[in-house]
Amino acid sequence: MRPTKSRSWFTRFAKWTSRVTGKPSAFMAAGAVIAAWVVTGPLFRFSDTWQLVINTGTTIVTFLMVFLIQNTQNRDSEAIQVKLDELIRAIDGAHNALLDLEELEEEELDRIRARYEKLAQLARAELRRGKFDTGTPQVEADRRR
């Protein structure tokens, strides 16, 4: 079963905006706006109003883009997490306890990360001794619970 595409107008708008503003032509358009503003400087005698136009315009665009970018980032991160969870779930020998790690408290996440850092150190030591670092060694259970 394939998920349906979003029907939310905001999600569709955020995706469209992200695609459009991420293209080189959007950067060129922004550069053209800045160039036009600079060229009109002498015409307006570099007045306060002339400066205010670009300051206000860029502030408004930046303010709105922050929300659109954050929405896109949140959606992409969530999709990646679900895909990683599915890979963990589907691989025989993988630790299902690693599913949904992003929801854990910082201390618990630090303990798990420390166990994997120790596992990596042991694997590097084995490599230095000429052994292989493949396989699925057990991760020690946390005894502090």
Distance CA(60)–CA(54), nearest Å, equals: 10
Render pLDDT for 67-102 as a digit per residue (tens, 0 to 9): 999 999 999 999 999 999 999 999 988 889 899 888
What does the angle CA 145 – CA 91 – CA 130 come to, to the nearest 5 degrees?
85
Render pLDDT for 88-145 as a digit per residue (tens, 0 to 9): 999 988 889 899 888 999 999 999 999 999 989 998 998 999 988 777 667 665 555 4
Distance CA(2)–CA(127), nearest Å, equals: 43
Distance CA(110)–CA(124), nearest Å, equals: 21
User: Which pair of structure tokens corresponds to residue 116?
Assistant: 């994997």
* pTM over cut 0.75: no
Distance CA(28)–CA(7), nearest Å, equals: 31
Distance CA(101)–CA(43), nearest Å, equals: 58
Spans of all domains in the chain = 9-102, 104-145
